[in-house]
Structure 1
Amino acid sequence: MSATSARLLTVLSLLGARARWSGEELSERLGVSTRTLRRDVGSLRALGYPVSTLKGPDGGYRLGSGGELPPLLLDDEQALAVAVALQTTPTSVSGIDDAVARALTSIRQVMPARLRAEVDAMHLTTIPNSWEFPAPPIPPDTLRAVGHAVRNRHLLRFDHRTPDGRRPDPGDPDFTPPVRAEPHHLVVWAGRWYLVAYVVPEEAWRIYRVDRIHAHAPTGAGFRPRRLPGSDVARYVMTTCDRGDTPARWQCTGSVVMDLPADVVARWAPGGSVVEYVDATRTRITLGAWSWAGIAGLLATFDADFADVRPAGLRDACRSLSRRYDRAGR
């Protein structure tokens, strides 16, 4: 395949992956000049692909309706990535097992025999709701509603369920009015899906657990993207302690107050932990493990002092581990 043909396929792939691209963004992504990009867009139009030019200061390119991608072309690494992604998705999204199986079958049909063998070799067994993925699976309708709002930059109106999955009535003490927010990013971390959104009435950024979102009808109201509190959305989620998390189900669950700032503890806390701000230098962390000794061992990895250890079983495990470490250090 010539370099030009390969680049045209890349342009098509990029245009299909996002609603709009600026000419500068596409040129930088492809490593070509804007003049070469314009020539490539003209070639695609000549082949029948409806690539629209968007006018104005924020203009660029968009693939119009009816623009279908050519037959699937995957290298070995891409084939492996697709197989793994499709087979692990049901652990965090519910009710799509049959769709995953059909998607894998469709992809196999357009692959050469060698790549089909690569995909078949990567056969995974996923365990929904396992403690390795400590969050309830997300209904596909919820994921579509939230993802559509993020992609199209539309205001999202939703109820946020309680940790036990309830939608409290107005008279319930746990009742909160529906949230109306600007959804900016979806982030998956430690088996949990998070929505990073700006809540206009509060004039504040918030992070919501997507598995607790009950989306209302689409608003269709657009918004302009805002600058995030940090330059890296992944780091922002990982270092924010107020993510709406609750402890994952473990045989043992305990908590301590640690002499570290909340953003540091949140960044390194195991998946399924809960991190709570106490003050500028102290943080309460609640976490679980198969045993009290397991929790005590996890706490040691932070290399910081801690106090207010709860419950008694965790205190006993800390004393036992202390004696064991003392003997090993002699």
Structure 2
Amino acid sequence: MLETSARLLRLLSLLQAHRDWSGADLADRLGVTPRTVRRDVDRLRELGYPVNASPGTGGGYQLGAGAELPPLLLDDDEAVAVAVGLRTAAGQGIEGIGETSVRALTKLEQVLPGRLRRRVSALNAFTVPLLRAPQQQGLDPALLTELAGVCRDSERLRFDYRDHGGGSTRRAVEPHRLVCTERRWYLVAWDLEREDWRTFRVDRLTPRPPHGPRFAPRTPPADDLAAYVAKGVSTRAYAAQAVVRLLVPLEEAAERISPADGTLEAETERSCLLRTGAASLDVMVFHVMFMGLEFEVVEPAGLTDRIRASRDLLSRALERGERSEPGAPRERA
């Protein structure tokens, strides 16, 4: 029975590796007769795997598309390659696939034998990626998979958290989801002490296992968690907040403004609203100007005053510079 089961797994692996196999080729690979191959194919069909067969000299066997994803069978080198690829995508926060990569990596690392885990860890530890937008600070993918696991299993998480000023606190939360931007990862969780939803930067937390106990998941703070986190890290977290009308279409603004800079909302075909935050209104002036887009202030009125003050300051600096240029007329004492 064990020999037959092992042979079925080997047959399934071969069917996944190649699009078409002749019966003779499969028999040669498995060390059995073509009749045994036909019986094994029938067993796979009974187990729910769609194996198509075409008769004749040019015919053969093919694994078809089914309603359910069959088990993915990988050899050692393939498993290492997949794990390294997923870790690279997860660690760099590549837009659109980062969170998916973490979920897949969590599942894969659960079934990797120890010898393969060591190979993956060594390859990641001694490889330096040169990518378009690397993170400002390295983030261990193992931390991401650990957090993804407690979110999946609904286990309480305890960790040390370092705030912006460098102070450290011990937190206990019910983790809900991981959210990634182009460069950063965030954990959305229910803070047990503060009895409210909080967003934590993953690079600032250090888990303190063991994890648990398990909890009943709560209703999340928003249907769109990406928008919720974007608003929190770009607006709610700052003392000064503003709404600015950008005089360009939403699509053009989105090419220059990341979720960490603020949240965008379409207004007309030629304009959109930016909701953003900064440490102060003076900092806000330069934050908006550095975006390089035509704009006007919606609120607060104080931001307009600070822009006017910055304009006057710059104008005076230019005037003084022009008077000090060689050949410029000098003022009489």
Higher radius of gyration, 1 or 2: 2
Given the two structures, how large is their TM-score scaled by the length of structure 1?
0.44
Structure with larger RCO (C-alpha < 8 A, sep 6+): 1
Structure showing the higher helix proportion among its residues? 2
